[in-house]
Chains A and B, each alone.
Chain A
């Protein structure tokens, strides 16, 4: 499993009811279901991802999370995961609201546009960033709402949410070294947040 998914999995309590938004091929859910005894459910927009979930035995709904989570009752999950997907949504604030409607806790991971590597690339090369976390050319990227860690934390506050855990990521998607904690907006390539209501 990808290192950032392993970090997300580490934040999900065993046996929890988990909804994974933009679950891709269902790898995280399959792990949570099998290893952690979770009740896992996915939402995936791509047809190939949807079928990959079926092949893994992961229950999945094909849909666009920008349309809301109307297929799910309020409070029907313990935790909702939004892994490397927030930046690809049209309405990030609405998606966060919907997440917190269907569960009392959310886990969000995203690439940090404030990372020094991206800042330097823009400054020196004058080009849009390209990295392992951001592999697409600017004109074909699904990532239409990039943000920095600072931007994200501002959004969280304005949405009335609070952070109960934060893990900065290195460029490979693993846990960044402790010194990054001091200046995450500059030094972390991404981050994983655990969120609850109450600012």
Chain B
């Protein structure tokens, strides 16, 4: 590696790309629609062991990307989950082979609405097929096959990343020894959907949206996308963290200006968040990925859910934060209750943190302690072959 890694950092990381589905061998979506080619951007950290048993898959949240850890040239700009992933960190790259891929429908290297539709030669826009959380998992699995991993020690994710972990365990429990869901949910509430609906409206009503076909026009729906981000960002912070960060302080002045411009620091911050988001995100991807979340409801039919859960042997860790109101602890508790009722081994803890939904990205020592303990135990079971609790549907002799 050309640069010496900083302490606890995986150092220089390189995003790789692979075509996992082609036009001739397309991805078959849950809806029956097909999509090809599908290219996936991903990064890996650490080394896959000889038994290929130490794989940890990172499922990213709504606006994340493949670059979870390390840096791509500037060590002061680490990956989005660098707090958790690295040598000696809870997701220890000295022990685990860590994989993170940009989501299907995203806009940071993996095929999405901004990719070229081979049948027209122009970007898909809203002609990109509607997909589901299960379809995201299908693509993750194709990447694992490419990397020579058949069973993961763990899949972990925060927010919609956790939703992928849950769906993965339901669809293919044999893939996952363990699953970890942080700040996640088994279904969005009406309030959750309402916030996403307003964010989407901001994009759809932007005069430059042009029915999703804005890629070749001089103007993009920047106003709508930045507004969407500003709305969402409010839900990622707790009231306490906003009070702490901004209070009622005035931006660049001692006295309020008493006009309709940006006056309070919180306004300036939101505007910055909205604008900087434009550099890295695509409005159509935002529409698709938030919609995927809205429709996610794996336990909608309790009888069918119980039947599927009977076959789930994945060991779960579910974590929530007490000030998260995007997906508050009640969301996690509902998942725990449902898993537990079907005898799926699940460990749960609500962690104190003032930082709201964003806590899962930050250094909260008690959070990291629990993640490290859980993955340490899962390593003993999945990598070192320690005996573990038997669950129904599992071969006792295994």
* A182 CB to nearest chain B CB (Å): 41
Question: Is residue A57 contacting chain B, with contact meaning CB distance below 8 A?
Answer: yes
Question: Is residue B7 contacting chain A, with contact meaning CB distance below 8 A?
Answer: no
Map CB proximity to A onto B331-363 as digits: 1 under 8 Å, 0 otherwise.
001001100110101111110000000000000
- Identify which of residues 13-69 in chain A touch chain B, using a CB-to-CB cut-off of 8 Å: 17, 33-34, 37, 39-41, 47, 50-51, 53-62
Tell whether A57 pairs with B377 under 8 Å between CB atoms, given A39-B343, A40-B389, A71-B340. yes
Note all chain A residues with C-beta closer than 8 A to B387. 34
- Identify which of residues 290-328 in chain B touch chain A, using a CB-to-CB cut-off of 8 Å: 315
- Identify which of residues 58-94 in chain A touch chain B, using a CB-to-CB cut-off of 8 Å: 58-62, 70-73, 76
Q: Is the CB of A60 within 8 A of B347?
A: yes
Question: Is residue B376 contacting chain A, with contact meaning CB distance below 8 A?
Answer: yes
Note all chain A residues with C-beta closer than 8 A to B386. 57
From B366, B369, B377, residue with most partner A Cβ within 10 Å: B377
Q: Is the CB of A47 within 8 A of B366?
A: yes
What is the CA–CA distance of A37 and B396 in the complex, to the nearest angstrom? Answer: 10
Note all chain B residues with C-beta closer than 8 A to A61. 336, 346-349
Q: Is the CB of A76 within 8 A of B333?
A: no
Q: Is the CB of B340 within 8 A of A54?
A: no
Chain A, residue nearest B381 (CB): A57
Tell whether A72 pairs with B337 under 8 Å between CB atoms, given A54-B374, A61-B347. yes
- Identify which of residues 256-291 in chain B touch chain A, using a CB-to-CB cut-off of 8 Å: none
Chain B, residue nearest A42 (CB): B347
From B333, B336, B349, residue with most partner A Cβ within 10 Å: B349
Chain B, residue nearest A53 (CB): B347
Note all chain A residues with C-beta closer than 8 A to B348. 60-62, 71
| Residues of B within 8 A of A (CB-CB), count | 29
Note all chain B residues with C-beta closer than 8 A to A34. 387, 389
Note all chain B residues with C-beta closer than 8 A to A73. 337, 340-341
Note all chain A residues with C-beta closer than 8 A to B244. none
Tell whether A33 pairs with B376 under 8 Å between CB atoms, given A59-B345, A61-B348, A73-B340. no
What is the CA–CA distance of A70 and B350 in the complex, to the nearest angstrom? Answer: 14
Question: Is residue B235 contacting chain A, with contact meaning CB distance below 8 A?
Answer: no
What is the CA–CA distance of A54 and B349 in the complex, to the nearest angstrom? Answer: 11
From B369, B373, B374, B389, residue with most partner A Cβ within 10 Å: B389
Note all chain B residues with C-beta closer than 8 A to A58. 389
Note all chain B residues with C-beta closer than 8 A to A76. 340-341
Note all chain A residues with C-beta closer than 8 A to B392. 39
Chain B, residue nearest A51 (CB): B373
Note all chain B residues with C-beta closer than 8 A to A62. 348-350
What is the CA–CA distance of A194 and B391 in the complex, to the nearest angstrom? Answer: 26
Q: Is the CB of B337 within 8 A of A59?
A: no
* A22 CB to nearest chain B CB (Å): 16
Q: Is the CB of A54 within 8 A of B343?
A: no
What is the CA–CA distance of A73 and B333 in the complex, to the nearest angstrom? Answer: 11
* B200 CB to nearest chain A CB (Å): 34
Question: Is residue B116 contacting chain A, with contact meaning CB distance below 8 A?
Answer: no
What is the CA–CA distance of A71 and B387 in the complex, to the nearest angstrom? Answer: 27
Q: Is the CB of B346 within 8 A of A59?
A: yes
Note all chain A residues with C-beta closer than 8 A to B377. 54-57
Question: Is residue B388 contacting chain A, with contact meaning CB distance below 8 A?
Answer: yes
Question: Is residue B370 contacting chain A, with contact meaning CB distance below 8 A?
Answer: yes
Cβ contact of B340, chosen from A37, A50, A55, A72, cutoff 8 A: A72
* B396 CB to nearest chain A CB (Å): 8
Note all chain B residues with C-beta closer than 8 A to A51. 369-370, 373
For the complex of A and B, the 3 pairs showing the least CB-CB separation, nearest first, are: A59-B345, A73-B341, A62-B349
Known pairs A37-B390, A57-B386, A61-B348; list 5 more (Cβ under 8 Å): A34-B389, A41-B345, A54-B374, A71-B333, A73-B341
Query: Can you list 7 pairs linking A and B with CB atoms under 8 Å apart?
Result: A50-B370, A51-B370, A51-B373, A58-B389, A61-B348, A72-B337, A73-B341
